Amino acid sequence: MPKDVKKLIDGFHKFRNNYFVKDTELFEQLTSGGQAPKTLIIGCSDSRVDPALLTQAEPGDIFVVRNVANLVPPYETGGKFHGVSSAIDFAVNSLKVENIIVLGHEHCGGIYALLKGPPEQDGFISSWMRIAAEAKIEVLSEMPTASYKEQMTACAKKSILISMENLMSFPFIQERLKARDLKIYGWFFELEAGRLLEFNYEQKKFIQL
Ligand SMILES: [Zn+2]
């Protein structure tokens, strides 16, 4: 067996020992009572930014959707394969989560593809990243001479805001926001410094948590 796969299986045995041997209560409760997470996290597929690891969440704490560059598509209907939207639908309408966090990060490969990729490219990633096209346009017009790193960071943060706006385009989310029983957060994980920032709605910028 490849050692990378063996490592994962060893990890599972550690997990099993913690939750099924030493402490059986949590999973008994999660199995009989079902899951009732209060928070939906929309994160990137990037191996370095696992929402459960970053937040040290326990099983049952967070409902998670991960995709390239933690994007939320705008609300649209019409028979396509809406993986992200169906997870949002389930989290908001069935699980009744009270918080939605869009979790972006530094050095994101999806953001790199958006910012630096050839415009004529026609693969799954470039097509998906079109959700955040406005972030690229703004960054290139607002900071054309900034360093590559600054542009990447600005683009990642702007794309988080686009996803937050797109969340608000879902009618059932608008209803819950109006009823004040749902909150939307934008988080940004700085890989280099190991810091977590949150978008502050009043100051209109990301502040360290
Ligand atoms: Zn990423």
Count other C-beta atoms under 10 Å from residue 109's C-beta. 13
Ligand 1 centre from 5 Cα, in Å? 23
> pLDDT grade, residue 78 (50/70/90)?
confident
Ligand 1 centre from 84 Cα, in Å? 16
pLDDT tens for 67-77 read: 999 999 999 98
Ligand 1 centre from 29 Cα, in Å? 34
Among 150, 43, 49, 53, which residue's Cα sits nearest to residue 100? Answer: 43
Note whether 125 and 110 are within 8 A (CB): yes
Instruction: Report all structural domains of the chain as residue ranges with CATH numbers, in order of start.
Output: 1-34 (no CATH), 35-208 (3.40.1050.10)
Ligand 1 centre from 105 Cα, in Å? 6
Ligand 1 centre from 17 Cα, in Å? 31
State percent of the chain over pLDDT 90.
Answer: 91
Residue 189 in this model has a pLDDT that exceeds 90: yes
Count other C-beta atoms under 10 Å from residue 133's C-beta. 12
pLDDT, position 132: 97
CA 144 to chain centre: 27
Q: How high does pLDDT run on average in the chain?
A: 95
Ligand 1 centre from 33 Cα, in Å? 34
pLDDT, position 119: 65
Ligand 1 centre from 190 Cα, in Å? 11
Ligand 1 centre from 27 Cα, in Å? 31
Ligand 1 centre from 180 Cα, in Å? 30
> pLDDT grade, residue 35 (50/70/90)?
very high
| pTM for the structure as a whole | 0.95
Residue 118 in this model has a pLDDT that exceeds 80: no
Q: How distant, in Å, are the alpha carbons of 13, 40, 60, 68 from that of 121?
A: 43, 32, 40, 16
pLDDT, position 120: 64
